[in-house]
């Protein structure tokens, strides 16, 4: 079992992904793209607790260097300084996008209350409805607001199990990769997919619709695999690079993609974070992230990038002060990264709370911008979600002006 299309009761959750040679109904996957000029929303989860204070450095806040005497990024190494913030040198692959205004950041962003448990914080981050009985993932609720698009409306790439942020009733697809997508047991001379199509013909809608969407997705992928894909650039040979390449492939194929979600883990750096030079732990990890994102943007090209807005989230930031192991423990406030042709980039958004002792929250960077309000603004302005109240109950949409209308 590899990849799974989920809908309502997760019917056919054992039908794994990959494609077989079959005659399948492709109307779901190859219907006219309903987004029109709306952006594809790409969510990149930086799991483990991303250190936003090292990526987007508040160099003009003197407390930063007091708190991080050996791992603070020296001002002379920062890129694209605006007089207050500067970029970590490992973000160099993204510098052209910062300079042309398609890459930006929101600082001091995060959840409404601190939560330093990886599991609990990620669950709350993906549910995004504290204080309520809602148990679905917020990206599932976004798809519901779009009218629950089937087929490739919502895709989780890089894992056979869809991300928890997609948990709920709206149709969504979990794929390890496009080229590895198949239905287990469907082989030449034994057309399991065709058998399933016949079996569910005339079945109640709850069954027939789910089956049709799964088979439609399989048929769509069969066409993609047959066509092959040669990206415009060489991606890094990493899990993230491969996943982003598949997102770009789906965007350019015009299969009706509305949202995509993918992960980049291993940000939990309690020790030996390292100086801001190649070969050190954080530098290499951040540079790998930047290289994959830069390849994604270059592969899409200016026209393709204008159809995409990518946002990063993480369960929490890191402590403001380094620990005794030259690393950083679990913190609170963080930076969100934004990439897309309609992003008003080249700047850092949000209200900076400061890093002086009285300005910290139990030793952590305070949160002045709810991450949900950032996402709500992008979904409203760029993705056609008119009302985000059912997605993020009780949260006002930000008015930071992050993206062009």
The per-residue pLDDT for range 111-123, each reduced to its tens digit, is 999 999 999 999 9
pTM of the model: 0.89
- Tell me the pLDDT of the chain (405 aa) as tens digits: 334 344 333 333 333 333 322 222 222 222 334 445 799 999 999 999 999 999 999 999 999 999 999 999 999 999 998 899 999 999 999 999 999 999 999 999 999 999 999 999 999 999 999 999 999 999 999 999 988 666 678 999 997 677 899 999 888 888 899 998 876 666 665 566 677 777 777 777 766 666 677 777 777 888 999 999 999 999 999 999 999 999 999 999 998 899 999 999 999 999 999 999 999 999 999 999 999 999 999 999 999 999 999 999 999 999 999 999 999 999 999 999 999 999 999 999 999 999 999 999 999 999 999 999 999 999 999 999 989 999 999 999 999 999 999
Domains of the chain with bracketed CATH: 1-30+179-228 (no CATH), 32-176+232-382 (3.40.720)
Show Cβ contacts of residue 275 under 8 Å, excluding neighbours closer than 6 positions. 70, 71, 283
**What single-letter DSSP state applies at residue 236?**
P
56-58 and 85-87 beta bridge pairing: antiparallel
Measured in whole angstroms, how far is the alpha carbon of residue 157 from the centre of its chain? 10
The residues with which 109 forms a beta bridge, in sequence order, are 334, 369
The sign of the CA dihedral 149, 9, 126, 391 is positive
The per-residue pLDDT for range 263-322, each reduced to its tens digit, is 999 999 999 999 999 999 999 999 999 999 999 999 999 999 999 999 999 999 999 999
Phi, psi (rounded to 5 degrees) for 120: -65, -40
The residues with which 260 forms a beta bridge, in sequence order, are 42, 155
Inter-residue contact 162 to 4 (CB < 8 Å): yes
């Amino acid at each position: 079992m590899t990849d799974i299309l989920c809908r309502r009761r997760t019917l056919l959750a054992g039908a794994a992904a990959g494609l077989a040679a079959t005659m399948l109904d492709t109307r779901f996957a190859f219907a006219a793209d309903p987004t029109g000029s709306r952006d594809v929303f790409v969510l990149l989860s930086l799991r483990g607790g991303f250190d936003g204070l090292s990526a987007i450095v508040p160099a003009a806040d003197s407390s930063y260097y007091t708190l991080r005497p050996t791992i603070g990024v020296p001002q002379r190494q920062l890129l694209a300084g605006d007089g207050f913030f500067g970029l970590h040198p490992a973000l160099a692959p993204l510098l052209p996008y910062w300079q042309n205004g398609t890459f930006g950041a929101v600082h001091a962003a995060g959840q409404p209350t601190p939560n330093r448990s990886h599991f609990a914080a990620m669950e709350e981050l993906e549910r995004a409805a504290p204080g309520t009985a809602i148990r679905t993932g917020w990206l599932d609720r976004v798809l519901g607001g779009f009218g629950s698009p089937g087929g490739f409306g919502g895709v989780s790439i890089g894992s056979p199990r869809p991300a928890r942020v997609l948990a709920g009733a709206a149709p969504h697809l979990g794929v390890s990769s496009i080229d590895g997508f198949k239905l287990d047991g469907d082989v030449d001379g034994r057309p399991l997919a065709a058998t399933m199509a016949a079996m569910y013909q005339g079945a109640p809608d709850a069954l027939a619709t789910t089956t049709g969407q799964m088979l439609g997705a399989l048929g769509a992928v069969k066409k993609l695999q047959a066509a092959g894909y040669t990206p415009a650039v060489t991606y890094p040979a990493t899990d993230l690079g491969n996943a982003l390449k598949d997102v770009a492939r789906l965007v350019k194929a015009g299969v009706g993609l509305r949202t995509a979600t993918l992960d980049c883990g291993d940000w939990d750096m309690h020790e030996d974070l390292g100086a801001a030079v190649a070969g050190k732990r954080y530098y290499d990890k951040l540079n790998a992230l930047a290289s994959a994102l830069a390849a994604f943007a270059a592969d899409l090209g200016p026209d393709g990038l204008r159809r995409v807005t990518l946002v990063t989230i993480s369960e929490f930031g890191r402590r403001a002060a380094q620990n005794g192991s030259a690393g950083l423990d679990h913190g609170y406030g963080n930076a969100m990264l934004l990439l897309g042709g309609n992003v008003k980039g080249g700047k850092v958004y949000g209200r900076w709370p400061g890093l002086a002792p009285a300005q910290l929250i139990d030793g952590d960077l305070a949160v002045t911008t709810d991450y949900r309000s950032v996402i709500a603004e992008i979904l409203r302005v760029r993705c056609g979600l008119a009302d985000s109240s059912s997605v993020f109950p009780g949260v006002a949409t930000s008015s930071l002006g992050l993206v062009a209308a």
